[in-house]
Amino acid sequence: MVSPPPQSVTRFAIDSQHLLRVGVDPVDKCVSLVRVAHSQAHLLYACPLTSAAVRKKLGRRTEIAPEKRRNATLRWTPKSHFKTGDVRFKYVFTIMTNQEERVVLITKSKSVTSTVLVVERQVDNNNDRNEKNEYIAGGEHSGIVISKIGNYDVENETPADTSVQFCVFLVNGQTGLHTKEMRTIRFWCNRDEKVDASAVASQFFQDLVSPDQFPLDYVGFVKRMLTLMHKGYKCLSRLEIELKQLEKTSIKPVHQVPVESSTTNSDITRTKLRELIESSYPNPLTIDDIYKKRGWDHADIKDNLDILQQSGIVKPVDGGGYTRVVLHDKIVEQIPIIQTNRQPTVAIITAEYCEKVAVDALIENKETFVRYTTVGESNVYTIGKMGNHSVVCTKLPALGLSRQATIASGNAITRLLGTFQKVEHVFVCGAGGGVPHYTNYDKHVKLGDVVVSHYGNKQKAVYTYCENVLNENGNITFHCRQYSPKTFDIQIAAMKLQTEVKSIDNTRPLWDVYLSEGLNKIEKQKTDGESDFNRPPADSDKLQMFIGGGTELIEITHPISDSQKNKDLGTRIHVGPIGGGQSAVSNESTRKKFATEYKLLAMDSEFDSVMGSLMGNYCHSYAVVRGISDYKDGSLKNDWQPYASLAAASVIKAILSIIKI
C-alpha cells in the first residue's frame, strides 16, 4: 500500500467566495480541479503539471454546489478508485465536508415599511472571518454571526420549500396605536437530506411562537429565530423573514375564541336561556333548576320563558319544568315496539341540541319519541331512514366530569343499545375542535371541515381520552385511555370518500349534496330566535394564538394549496385520530403537546363515558365524527357550531351510502 504524501504540500482550499482552487501535487507534479456536488467529489480536470494546457488553467476556479459551500479538509484517493482515463497520476484530492458551521444573519433588503432578513448556515472558515464586517457572538451563542454588510446575493435563488405567514400587533407606547405587521417566514431544507419540509417548518413555527417564550419585541424575535437555527433544525439550510407593516388602528385585536366566563352571575338573555334548555333536552328544567345553574333572578327567568313559549321555542311539561319544542315528537311512557323491518341497524349519538337537529334533518320518514321522567333521565329517539339504512338518533342528557353526568351518559348508551338490539354501527356525531397545520394545506384542519376517527399512531387508537396530565419540572406526561373498534367498515368508507374527491376534479362531493339538502329542510322549519345553520363567512375563521404568557395575540394565515387558490372548497374530510379530556384540552400549550404526541386531527371534551359504554356493550363498529367549529374542543357556542354539526351529519349520510349491511 502506497503511503499518501504529507498534507503540508497541498494548496487545496476554499476561498472566501466559496470557490474551489486548483490543487497541486508537487510529489507527482500533477494538478487537479475537483467539484463537490451531492456529497461526492467530481474530477473536473487532471493531468501532469508539465502540460501546457494545465499551465494555462493554473489558478482557474470552479464553483462548489451551494449546499456544500464549506471549508474542506483533504484526503488522498488511490488512482484505482477512478475509471480508466479519468486520471493520469497516482493520487487525487477529495473534499471532506465535516467542518463546524455557523448561523449568519444577513439583511437582504430594507424600506420604510418592510424589512427582509436571511438566516443562513455557513461553514465556519476561520480564514474567511472579517470582524470589520461581522458581529460574532460568544459564549453560549458562539456560532451566531450578524453581518454588517446590508446586501445579499440573490442570483440563482431557488424557490422556498414552504412558508408560514402570521400577523402581530405592535403597540406604540406613546400613542397607544396598534400597528398590524405581517411576518412571513420562508424555509429552505438541505437538498441532500430527505425531510418533510412542511412538518419541519410547522414544528419550527410552533417552537417559535410558544406562548411562554415568544418574544414581544423585534430584537427578541430575531434572536429567537437565530437561537432555534443554531441549537437545532440542522436540516434547515436557510430562512428568509419578511416583516411588512400594514395598517394602524386604535382598536385592540379581539380573540375570536373568547375564554368562557363563569357559568353563574352573567346577565340573562333569551339566547342564553334557550341554549341552556336545549343543552338539557330531553330533560326538562324548572325555574329552580335554572336558578341553581346560572344564578339568574327568578322573575327574569319567568319573563324570558314566557317570551320563548310565545315564540314556540319552549313548552311547559308536567312537574313545572320547561323543555324544547320539537316538531312532530310523540311523548310516550315507554318506547313502542318497532317493527322488524324498521329496526335500526345504525345508531347516531349527539350531545348538543343543534347536533341532533342536524342529524334529524337528514333522516327520512322519521318519528321522534320522547319519554319524560321526573326521576332519572329522560330519553329521546328519532327513528327513520338514511338512504337504505334504518337509523336511530338520540341526544345525551348530560356530559361532563361529574359522577352524575358520567353515569347518565353511560346509562343512555346502554339503554339505547338495549332497546335497539340490531344496531351494528354507531356514530358519535357533533362539533369538535380542529388541530391546525400551519404550513401544509392537505394536513390543515380548519373550521367547517369534518374529521372521522381512525387510528394513526403506534397504539392504533381511533380515540384517545386524557384522564390526567402530570407536569414534573416542565416534563409533561399524559395518562390516557385509548379506544379502537374491532372492525373498520366506517373508516374504510370514509377514506374511500376522501380518495374519490381528491382524484376527481370539479366534482361536487356527495356530503356537500346532503349538506344542502339538510340546510333547506332546517330553513323551512326554522322559527325566529333559533340557530342559523348556514356556513359563516370565511373571514370569521381566524387562526389565532395567545403569546407572551397569554397577554398578546397573533393571527396566523391559513395555508393554501397552490393548485386550489381562489376556490371555495367548502367542507373537506379528514380521517385520523381524535382525542379529548378537559385536563388536556383546557390549556393551549398542553393541548398542542397532546395533539402532537398522539397525532390528533380533532378534539372534543368529555366523551370517555360514551366510548367506555360502547366498548362495554360489545359494539364492534363505531366512529367519532366531528365537524370543526373552533380550535379548542367544539364546546364553545359560536356561529360555526350549527354548520359544523350539519357538516358532520352530512358526512355520516355519505358514509352510509357506501356501507352495505
Answer yes or no: are the C-beta atoms of 336 and 369 closer than 8 Å: yes
Q: What is the largest CA-CA distance in the chain?
A: 112
Q: Which of 72, 65, 120 is nearest to 93 (CA)?
A: 72
- pLDDT tens digits, residue range 137-183? 777 777 788 887 766 666 557 889 999 999 888 776 667 677 788 99
Q: What letter would DSSP give residue 139?
A: G
Paired with 37 in beta bridges are: 40
The neighbour count for residue 295, using CB atoms within 10 Å, is 13
Domain ranges of the chain: 7-96, 101-249, 427-656
Write down the pLDDT at residue 44. 42
% of the chain exceeding 90 in pLDDT: 35
Cβ contact 653:515 at 8 Å: no
Question: Would you place residue 407 in the very low, low, confident or very high pLDDT band (cuts 50, 70, 90)?
Answer: low
Beta bridge partners of 392: 347, 383
Mean pLDDT of 528-538: 86
Which 8-state DSSP code applies to residue 527? -
Whose CA is closest to 3, among 87, 75, 96, 65? 75
CA-CA distance, 436 to 603, in Å (whole number)? 11
* pLDDT, mean of residues 505-532: 84
CA-based torsion, 425, 363, 382, 367: positive or negative? negative
CA distance linking residue 484 with residue 463, whole number of Å: 7
**Residue-by-residue DSSP string for 276-300:** HHHHHTTS-B-HHHHHHHH---HHH
- Residue 47 has a pLDDT of 41
pLDDT higher than threshold 50 for residue 60? no
State how far the Cα of 188 lies from the Cα of 237, in Å rounded to an integer.
6
Tracing cell 333521565 back to the chain, one arrives at 377
pLDDT at 88: 33
For residue 290, count other CB atoms closer than 10 A to its CB.
24
Q: Where are the alpha helices (DSSP H) in 504-550?
A: 510-525
For residues 365-387, give the mean pLDDT. Answer: 84
571 near 512, Cβ under 8 Å?
yes
Beta bridge partner(s), residue 23 = 32
Residue 637 DSSP symbol: -
What letter would DSSP give residue 560? -
User: Which pLDDT belongs to residue 402?
Assistant: 56
Helix axes 353-361, 640-656, angle to 10 degrees: 40
pLDDT in tens, 558-576: 988 766 554 556 899 999 9
- The percent of residues above 70 in pLDDT, for the chain, comes to 72
Among the listed residues 439, 440, 475, 430, the one whose alpha carbon sits nearest the alpha carbon of residue 602 = 430
SS3 151: coil
Per-residue confidence band for 505, with pLDDT thresholds at 50, 70 and 90? low
Grid cell in block for residue 548: 407572551
Residue with cell 334557550: 274
Closest alpha carbon to 14 in 127, 168, 178 = 127
On average, the pLDDT of the chain sits at 77
CB 456 within 8 A of CB 577: yes
Q: Which stretch of DSSP H or E encloses residue 74?
A: strand 73-78
At 45, the pLDDT band (50, 70, 90 cuts) reads very low
Of 555, 601, 649, the closest CA to residue 165 belongs to 555
> With contact defined as beta carbons under 8 Å apart, do 614 and 413 qualify?
yes
What is the Cα–Cα distance from 60 to 46, expressed in whole angstroms? 13
pLDDT given at position 153? 62
Q: What residue type is 528 in one-letter code?
A: D
Is the Cα torsion angle 483, 486, 487, 492 positive or negative in sign? positive
More confident residue, 289 or 19: 289
The total number of residues written for the chain in this structure: 661
**Span of 35-49, 110-124, 372-386, 425-439 with lowest mean pLDDT:** 35-49
Q: Is the pLDDT of residue 357 over 70?
A: yes
The pTM (predicted TM-score) of the whole model is: 0.78
Strands 602-604 vs 578-580: parallel, antiparallel or unpaired: parallel
One-letter amino acid for residue 81 of the chain: H
Instruction: Name the pairing type of β-strands 114-123 and 101-110.
Output: antiparallel
**Helices and strands per DSSP (H, E), number in the chain:** 14, 31
The rounded distance, in Å, linking the Cα atoms of 655 and 575 is: 12
User: In the prediction, which pLDDT does 25 show?
Assistant: 44
Task: Please tell me which residue, 377 or 425, carries the higher pLDDT value.
Answer: 425
Q: Which residues fall within 8 angstroms of residue 633, CB to CB, at 6 or more apart? A: 432, 433, 580, 585, 603, 604, 605
Q: Where are the alpha helices (DSSP H) in 474-558?
A: 489-503, 510-525
Q: What is the pLDDT of residue 98?
A: 41
Q: Report the distance separating Cα 632 and Cα 204, nearest Å.
A: 21
Q: Please, are residues 239 and 188 in contact by the beta-carbon 8 Å criterion?
A: yes
